[in-house]
Amino acid sequence: MTMDKLLVSPNPHIHAPVSTKSLMRDVIIALIPAVICSFVFYGWREILVMAVSVASCVLLEWAITKYMLRKPSTIGDLSAVITGILLALNLPYTTPWWVVMIGAVVAIGVAKMTFGGIGQNIWNPALVGRVFLLVSFPTYMTTWGAPQGVVDAVSGPTPLGAIQEGLMQGASVQELTSAFNYKDLLFANLGGSAGEACALALLAGFVYLCCRKVIKPWITLSIFATVALVSLAFWAADPTRFTDPLFNLLTGGLVLGACFMATDYVTSPMTLWGGVIFGVGIGFLTMMIRYFGSYPEGVSFAILIMNSVVPLLNMWFHQKKFGRK
């Protein structure tokens, strides 16, 4: 007998090999293909944007917990790194470094830490940062430079932006979409924010997260399904005015938003049906903004609007309880 004091605690006495940090690490791993693609397509300036974004997010969170909230630092859980990566993927690679930093301040400082840090924020921090920059620095945010990376990709404005502009000048959708081919959309975008570079890389990350059971696919799938159905309905009614479903699925950051932004734990509902309603709402709002709004694409706004509804969804949709009707 060598032990002098027994440890006593209530059951359970063992724990699953999972922690906040391990979950966040999995999300980062899932983002790696998309990050690599963005580096390959957009070159060193994208590396700079990514570095500035991640570094500012992490530093800011560290500084705020240490000097303002005066509590143990939370940067160890890696959630700030994810916010940094997502913010960078949401910006054009041409964004000046100081604009990226302002985005990080809004994302971490305003959208996350003001509410009390991880777990407390209502809106997805990276998206708040992005939308803030979009309305504050529209010039930088909509100047999509041509890809400069090692791959010889097609250059031009964002597909959705081009179409909205074209429609205003009286062209028909068919003429405009014929300029893009879907293979380009899947593998290498034409211009746009870095995270839109390669839908396939993002989907690979999404599949990884689902396989690791980090996220459940319902939210993402319901977004895709809603976008496809809504655009199919409009497109079938009038193909000259409305873009087709596949085009809508592959452009404007929908894949990035649906796979990585809408599935953020903190800002999405906790139950299955809450998640499905959440996804349907995002899909529907996205299409309404795209077809009828003044912004060419609406994923960011749609997610932020639905983020606000999450507390209500959590209140309305509960688990099915055992042995109860």
Partner 1 sequence: MSNIIIWTIAVITVLGLLLALVLYLVAQKFKVEEDPRIDEVEKAMPGANCGGCGFAGCRAFAEAAVKASNLDNNYCPVGGNDTMAKVAAILGIEVKAKAPMVAVVRCNGSCAVRPKVNEWGGTESCAVKAQLYAGDTGCSFGCLGCGDCVKACQFGALSMDPETGLPVVDQSKCTACGACVKACPKAVIELRPAGPRGMRVYVSCLNRDKGPVAKKACASACIGCGICAKTCTHDAIVVEGNIAYIDASKCKLCRECEAMCPTGAIHGVNFPKALDKDAIKERIKARQQKAKEAANE
Partner 2 sequence: MSKNTFSIGGVHPHDSKISRGCPICPLPLAPTVYISVAQHIGAPSVPCVAVGDKVKVGQVIAEPGGFVSAFIHSSVSGTVKSIGPRPDLAGRPVTHIEIAVEGDEWAEGIDTSDTLVTEIPSDNKAIVEKIRQGGVVGLGGATFPTHVKLSPPPGSKCERVIINGCECEPYLTSDFRTLLEKGEQVVIGAAILSQVMGNVPCTIAIEENKPKAIAHIREVIGKLGYEGIEVMVMKMRYPQGGEKQLIDAVMHRQVGSGALPISVGAVVQNVATALAVYDAVQKNKPIVDNSVTVTGECFPNQANLMVRVGTPLRYILDYLGGIPSDAVKVISGGPMMGRAVANLDAATVKGTGALLLLTEAQTRRGVESECIRCGRCADACPMGLEPFLLQKLSRNADVEALEANAAHDCIECGCCLYSCPANIPLLDWVRMGKGLAMGAIRARAAAAKAAAEAAKK
Residues interacting with partner 2, by CB under 8 A?
A: 1-3, 6-16, 18-20, 22-23, 74, 77, 79, 116-120, 265-266, 268, 270-271, 318-324
CA–CA dist 80, 205 (Å, integer): 19
- If binding is defined by CB under 8 A, does position 1 make contact with partner 1? no
Lookup result for tokens 């060598």: 2
Nearer to partner 1, 11 or 178 (CB): 11
d(CA 73, CA 27): 20
If the CB atoms of residues 182 and 216 are measured against partner 2, the closer one turns out to be: 216
Extended beta strands in 66-175, E state: none
Rounded Cα distance, 186 and 51, in Å: 26
Q: What is the largest CA-CA distance in the chain?
A: 88
Q: Pick from 298, 259, 308: which is nearest to 134 by CA?
A: 298
Per rule CB under 8 A, is residue 17 in the interface with partner 1?
no
Total of residues contacting partner 1 (CB under 8 A): 6
Structure tokens at 219: 């939210």
Positive or negative: CA dihedral 159, 32, 212, 12 = negative
- Of residues 7 and 135, the one with the C-beta less far from partner 1: 7
Peptide bond into 239 cis (omega under 30): no
Give the one residue of 10, 72, 170, 323 binding partner 1; rule: CB under 8 A. 10
Contact between residue 160 and residue 168 where contact means Cβ atoms under 8 Å apart: no
Give min distance, CB of 159 to partner 2, in A. 35
Interface segment toward partner 1; rule CB under 8 A; list 5-13, 62-70, 232-240, 313-321: 5-13
Contact between 5 and partner 1 per CB under 8 A: yes
- Pick one of 8, 14, 168, 237: the residue that binds partner 1 (CB under 8 A): 8
Which one of 8-16, 24-32, 145-153, 252-260 is the stretch in contact with partner 1 (CB under 8 A)? Answer: 8-16
Contact region for partner 1 (CB under 8 A) — 1-9, 108-116, 140-148, 186-194?
1-9
Between 1 and 168, CB nearer to partner 1: 1
With CB under 5 to 8 Å by kind, the binding choice for 183 among partner 2, partner 1, none is none
Measured from the Cβ of residue 160, the count of other Cβ atoms closer than 10 Å reads: 22
Residue numbers at the binding site for partner 1 (CB under 8 A): 5-10
